[in-house]
Chain A
Amino acid sequence: MPEPPESIHQITEFERELRQNLARRPAPPSLKRRILEARTRHRTARFRNRIVLWQRLAASLVLAASLGGGYAWHHVQQQRKGEEARRQVFTALRITNRALNEMNARLAAHDRAANE
């Protein structure tokens, strides 16, 4: 059922009033200054955070390199010690072997002397 014209007119009139009274309000005079100040603070904070982040990253890399290098050096040292220990064992075996050979020779000589 169509609305009576009178009602439509009232709505239109009301809309006109609404449009007139809902015009944009002027922003407070201090708003722009506050926005610009907040922007400066925000940018400074972001810049500082970025510096701190890079510093932390660099420190992490140095630490990782130090730990890695330290482990590698330790590993090399362990290897070297292992090599040294092996050489000493072989030397000891050679000495022992020579001593045993000399002992055998003396015993053999003693046996020959005893038989004669």
Chain B
Amino acid sequence: MARTWQPDFERLVDEHQSMVFSLAWRMTGDRGLAEEIAQDVFLELDMHLDHLESPAHTLFWLRRVAMSRSADALRRRRVRGVDLWVEIDDHHGAPPEETTSPLGTRLEQLLTTLPEPQRAALTLRYQEDLTPEEIATVLDSPLATVKSHLQRGLKLLRAKAQSHLKEYIRRA
């Protein structure tokens, strides 16, 4: 059966590079590393272009590979014994024109201090607006596990935010 969808690589890069880059950055907390991961993900996309059936399939594939490559990078970093928190202070700063509010930057930093599975679940939930079922498919993880990571991650992140962000407290 002839394929009706003919993907254009450059257009896919235009459409999805921010998504891939953001996922990698939120997972690793390292801007430079996120760029490398994004580059690798799109190189892999080029090699698998013939196997992708639709725009939705491509989006799913990119999310999955971006998360997988980010996890690999974090694992290599752990093997090297690099302190992620120190890395955040050194590398998390974006060029001035790209910074969000101080609150937003702080939340991003706190996100990278969460355990990796919780970080992954929260990133896919609040950056990509995926449902728990969709997150489970992307991460190839049981739904109950994903829900647990979301619940615990949210609770932990909120607790960290409350203790670190004086400006976040809305009630005296």
Contact = CB atoms under 8 A, between A and B. Distances in A.
A22 B43 CA distance: 26
Interface of B is mostly: helix
Interface of B: 9-10, 13-14, 17-22, 25-26, 35, 38-39, 42-43, 46, 94, 98, 100-101, 103-104, 107-108, 111, 122-123, 126-127, 129, 154, 157-158, 161, 168, 170
A115 interface: no
Contacts of A19: 126, 129
A22 B21 contact: no
Contact count band on A? 20 to 34
Interface of A is mostly: helix
A14 B154 contact: yes
B17 A39 contact: no
Interface centre among A19, A22, A28 (most CB of B within 10 A): A22
Nearest to B104: A21
A14 B39 CA distance: 33
A82 to B, nearest CB: 59
B94 A25 contact: yes
B126 A18 contact: yes
Interface of A: 10-11, 13-15, 17-28, 31-32, 34-36, 38-39, 42-43
Contact of A22 (B17, B19, B26): B26
Contacts of B100: 21
26 contacts: A10-B158, A14-B154, A15-B126, A17-B107, A18-B107, A18-B122, A18-B126, A19-B126, A19-B129, A21-B103, A22-B111, A24-B18, A24-B22, A25-B18, A25-B94, A25-B98, A26-B18, A27-B17, A27-B20, A32-B14, A34-B39, A35-B39, A36-B13, A39-B9, A39-B43, A42-B43
Nearest to A20: B104
A71 to B, nearest CB: 43
A35 B22 contact: no
Interface centre among B127, B129, B157 (most CB of A within 10 A): B127
B157 A18 contact: yes
B107 A22 contact: yes
